[in-house]
Structure 1
Amino acid sequence: MLKNKTKFFFEKKLYENITNCNLIEPDQTVIFGLSGGVDSVSLLYALNEISKKYPFKIIALHVNHGIRENAVRDEEFSRSFAQSLGVKFISEKIYIPKAAEELKQGIEETARQFRYILFEQAAEKYNADKIITAHNKNDNAETVLLNIIRGAGLNGICGIALTRGKIIRPMLIYTRAEIEEYAHFCDLSYVVDETNLDIEYTRNYIRHEIIPLLEKQNSNTIENICNLSKLAKRDIDLLNGISHSDVIINDKLPPSILSRRIITQFSKHSDRTLSNKHIEAIMNTIYSAKSAIISLPDNLQAVIDKISFLITGEIQQIEEPWSFVLKQGENRYNNIEIILSTDKIKITEIIYNLSIQFVLDFDKIKGTIFARSRHSGDSFVCHSINRNVKKCFINKKIKKEVRDQIPVICDSEGIICVPYIGVADRVYNKNAERSIYLYISRNEVTDEER
């Protein structure tokens, strides 16, 4: 009786989590990460039971990392278990120690990176809608503590996300003890990864040494840490809503918003957590109105040009970066002249052989308008097309030395107009009640440059 009750409520809670959070839709195909351990075995068994009434197709994927002597045993067990459930089984093998050595990073981090790469490749190959991993509450609590130790900020306290792209983690609602209880009552066999007992690995040290000490003080340690991560996620969502922007251009922003913008832009390029050390370095440079390149994880760079900021994977050259805020009236920088006005001005000379003026919707401008040098990766939507600034210049056969002198005009949300290309759709409105007029010229423009 107890066995049936435990099984029923475990699967009922899992089903409600899947349907209430729209994790899996009926008739979808999912790639399931099956290690052979108690977490993945229990989740696969429960999902297979649920799929009998709420149909979706499961493909179990086992990754042999080539680390342990028992890796072949684990793969064969996983194959046998999946086949016993009638679940399609596939496996992949990669020699992680060699990859970690070549990448000059830890075994754990390298294994995680390659595992997700293989998950994504399998999802593409089998046209799968979702990728499922068997992370639980204990994993989440360990991740939060691990991130705190590494110096992460609020993002790190958020822990493991329920969803990220195609990846879903439906078992984050259970503790490891609840999962082991379910496996026991369902008579499920599983393998034990002996490396999970090695406290030389930081996560294992937290699992076997730190958390037990904390639980002696409070038996609800796991639940409390997971609740903290939920509260942090709510604050993150609020800050993201306030601070969303592609380009940071205001050195007067408070640290809470500026740091959030840095994190938001970094997250567009990497799944890793940006350390507080890197965030502080970027913020200090912006607040000091200096230009610099700061190296970041995953071969990324923060390129800071006084009050503007960009994260990119490309090698940047900032030999002579420049930027300046535009005030109403005449603005001059070297051989560039920009007139900003709320009134239409009669201008007779042709500017950049493109247009005499740019007309912008006053009410759609966000924050300060400023001009800056072109950055690698600059792009904006103009005439419903996302236009890469460099490619547009090249297509128009503009020489590099000329390209580097053409001002890119921005507001606090990014590019608003560029000579030779046009005005960003988000600030264009020919019927605007109030307009801003920009007149841009550069001295000594030769016929060849035109």
Structure 2
Amino acid sequence: MLDFRITDRLKKTIEKYDLLKEKDKVLIAFSGGPDSVFLFHCINFFRESLSLKLELVYVNHKLREEAEEDVKFVKEFAEKYKVRYYIREADIKETAARKKISEEEAGREERYRIFFDIMKENNIDKIATGHNLDDNIETFIFRLLRGTALNGLKGIPVKRGAIIRPILEFRKDFILEVLDNTGEEYRLDSTNFEIKYTRNKIRNLIFPLFGEVNPLFREKISGLIEEINNLEDMEKSREKVLWLSDLKKMDKTLQNKRIFDLISMYDIDVSREKIRQIGELINSNGNKEINLGNSFILYKNYDKLEVIFQNEYIPLPDELILEEGIVSEWGDYLLEVTNKTIKEGAREKGKVIFLRDSTKIKVRSRKEGDRIYLKNLGYKKIKKILIDEKIEKRERDRIPIIELDNEIAAIGDIKISGKLELTENIENKAQMKLIIRRKNAEEQK
């Protein structure tokens, strides 16, 4: 159903933002509506060429009587295209009342909570959502009308952590045209036409008026969003970090202003109580964090405060058994078991451990009480080593713990067991080797 107009744009978007990789397991947020059906076909186009594994998730918000028909449609669609599916429920009205937030916000929070629960339980690599260009413009206008700093107008990101939005550059009317011309079935959500929701007012009342003034208003606003995003990229490091040494020199008024400026850039509601909690955090000991809402946390690490997207990291599997000839990923690490020749300079790009032929190699996250043997020191707690190395708390559980025959042999590329022989003869061709390196290291030729 996809022609070159679509596939060419998709390929460019996927390449530009690195949205999909070979053998990715992708969870598609699937309501049965036109956006999610179009999204599925866009990703399904690459299913064979990239050896993708696709799965669908439908979340019943308990707001519509026709939800049962939606579930039936999702099941039939999944069976037709031979993909696994998940049906989940979330009581949006109860969540909104309990948290004293709008139903729109409660729906978003519950959806993403469910997405990431499924992701963690089933070793999903990416979560794909069907946000389109109209959704991006709605978000821009919504934030503009509500009032926000310049960076609050940056729109919806194409990629954030494990979340990808491949069809963000496609207009809604184009999506509908493609589906209708090909006879592809989809479901319509009746609540999309109820103007009691703010975004529906923007979509159903404001958009038509904008269209009368300029039919290309979406493209014009999209260009503005891109300019704002470019500005954000240039100032990203400055905006996301506050140094504690600087904050402690400021009087309380200026300190509060800097904190307010930082967190308000992320479309987060700022209250006096939140500012007070952050002020206490500045003078506290150790690494700590505060939930800011809207899927963000403020993280205190040694000498800085940093705003972090809560679900920024792709969940790791419980454990991984390494096999010869396969490059395995673990967080920010690449692990390879091979007997190939390793060129000079490889030591700067990672660590090389020589193995016995019968060695069983397991990779896992660290556990409480883990120890590793170090020469002249004996066994030392891995937690203490990571603290001494000033590894951030949120990073520690993402460093691979490598076991050789049930004994801890390495903490990523940070420490290697003193029981292992790390020979300088890295040109050794006969012996099996484990190569541990970071993803951002220059690839070996």
Correspondent of 2:290 among 298, 313, 318: 313
- Length-normalised TM-score, structure 2: 0.60
Partner residue, 2:109: 113
- Cα separation, 2, equivalents of 1:305 and 1:40: 42
Q: Report the TM-score, using the length of structure 1 for normalisation.
A: 0.59
Instruction: Tell me the amino acid that sits aligned with residue 100 of structure 2.
Output: K
Does residue 83 of the first structure (1) align with residue 79 of the second (2)?
yes
Q: Do 1:99 and 1:110's aligned partners in 2 also have CA atoms closer than 8 Å? A: yes
Distance 2:210 2:256 in 1: 34
Q: Does the residue aligned with 1:51 lie in a helix, a strand or coil?
A: coil
Counterpart in the other structure of 1:45: 41
Letter of the structure 2 residue corresponding to residue 64 of structure 1? N
Q: Structure 1 pair 305/94, CA: closer, same or farther in 2 (3 Å)?
A: closer
> Following superposition of structure 1 onto structure 2, how do residues 227-242 of structure 1 map, counting pairs within 5 Å?
227-242=223-238
- Find the counterpart in structure 2 of residue 9 from structure 1: 5
SS of 1:92 mapped into structure 2: strand
* Native 8 Å contact 1:243 1:260 kept in 2: no
Q: 2:235 aligns to what SS in structure 1?
A: helix
Question: Shift of the alpha carbon at 1:207?
Answer: 0.4
Deviation at 1:42, TM superposition (A): 1.1
Q: Which has the larger radius of gyration?
A: 1
The one of 377, 383, 386 equivalent to 2:388 is: 383
Select between 79-88 and 22-31 the one with higher mean Cα deviation. 79-88
Which one of the candidate residues 212, 226, 246 is aligned to 2:222?
226
Closer, same or farther in 2 for the Cα pair 1:260/1:12, shift >3 Å?
Answer: farther
1:303 aligns with 2:287: no
Pair 1:64-2:57 in alignment: no
Change in Cα spacing, 1:145 to 1:134, as seen in structure 2 (3 Å) is same
- How many residues align structurally? 297
For 1:162 and 1:150, locate their aligned partners in 2 and report how far apart those are by CA, in whole Å.
Answer: 23
Pick closer, same or farther for the CA change 1:155–1:258 going to 2, 3 Å.
Answer: farther
Distance verdict in 2 for CA 1:136–1:306, change over 3 Å: closer
> CA distance change for structure 1 residues 259 and 31 in 2, over 3 Å: closer, same or farther?
farther
Cα offset for 1:261? 6.4
Contact 1:157 1:228 in 2 (8 A): no
CA distance in 2, matches of 1:224, 1:258: 36
Tell me the SS of whatever aligns to 1:303: helix
Amino acid at match of 1:313: I
Partner AA of 2:17 in structure 1: C
Q: Structure 2 vs 1, CA of residues 136 and 260 (structure 1 numbering), >3 Å: closer, same or farther?
A: farther
| Percent pairwise identity | 28
Corresponding residue number in structure 2 for 1:368? none
Change (3 A) 1:123 1:104: same
* Contact 2:154 2:225 (8 Å CA) reproduced: yes
Shift of the 260–134 alpha-carbon distance from structure 1 to 2, 3 Å rule, reads farther
Q: Secondary structure at the match of 1:172?
A: coil
Where does residue 170 of structure 1 map in the other structure? 166
8 A contact 2:17–2:159 mirrored in 1: no
Structure 1's 223 and 89: CA in aligned 2 closer, same or farther, altered over 3 A? Answer: same
What residue in structure 2 maps to residue 159 of structure 1? 155
Instruction: Check whether the contact 1:302–1:311 (CA below 8 A) recurs between aligned residues.
Output: no
Look up the SS of the partner of 1:170 in the other structure: coil
2:348 alignment counterpart? none
Alignment of 1:180-191 (within 5 A): 180-191=176-187
Q: Secondary structure at the match of 2:119?
A: helix
CA distance in 2, matches of 1:21, 1:154: 23
Alpha-carbon distance change, 205 to 265 in structure 1, aligned in 2, over 3 angstroms? closer
Structure 2 vs 1, CA of residues 236 and 135 (structure 1 numbering), >3 Å: closer, same or farther? same
Q: Is the 8 A contact 1:82 1:89 kept in 2?
A: yes
Q: Could you tell me how far 1:305 is from its partner in structure 2? A: 9.6
Opposite residue 267 of structure 2, the aligned amino acid is T
CA 1:246 to 1:236, structure 2 compared with 1: closer, same or farther past 3 Å?
Answer: same
Distance across 1 between alignment mates of 2:196 and 2:157: 26
Q: Residues of 2 paired with 1:385 and 1:135: CA distance?
A: 39
Q: In the alignment, is the contact (CA less than 8 A) between 1:61 and 1:92 conserved in 2? A: yes
**Alpha-carbon distance in structure 1 between the residues aligned to 2:67 and 2:281:** 50
The equivalent of 1:217 in structure 2 is 213
Inter-partner Cα distance in structure 1 for 2:177 and 2:197: 26
- Given the superposition, is the C-alpha separation of residues 137 and 311 from structure 1 closer, same or farther in structure 2, using an over 3 Å criterion? farther
Counterpart contact for 1:240–1:264, Cα < 8 Å: no
2:267 corresponding residue in structure 1: 273
Task: Quote the residue 1:367 is aligned against.
Answer: none
- SS of the equivalent of 1:111 reads helix
SS at match of 2:3: helix
- Which whole-Å CA distance do the structure 2 matches of 1:58 and 1:111 have between them? 24
Q: CA 1:240–1:304 in 2, change beyond 3 Å: closer, same or farther?
A: farther
CA distance in 2, matches of 1:180, 1:133: 17
Contact 2:256 2:279 in 1 (8 A): no
- Mapped partners of 1:264, 1:252: distance in 2: 15
Gaps of 5+ in 1: 282-293, 315-380, 389-450
The 3-state SS of whatever aligns with 2:46 is helix
Change in CA separation of 1:261 and 1:169 when aligned onto 2, cut-off 3 Å? farther
Alpha-carbon spacing, 1:301–1:152, altered in 2? closer, same or farther (3 Å): farther
Separation in structure 2 between the aligned mates of residue 238 and residue 69 of structure 1, nearest angstrom: 47
Find the counterpart in structure 2 of residue 130 from structure 1.
Answer: 126
Q: Name the CA distance, whole Å, in 1 between partners of 2:120 and 2:80.
A: 26
Segments of 5+ residues of structure 2 without an aligned counterpart are: 292-385, 394-445
Secondary structure in 1 aligned to 2:68? Answer: helix
CA distance in 1, matches of 2:68, 2:157: 31
Residue pair 1:301, 1:312 contacting (<8 A) in 2 also: no
2:55 is paired with a residue whose SS is: strand
Aligned to 2:90: 94
| Residue type at the aligned position of 1:50 | F
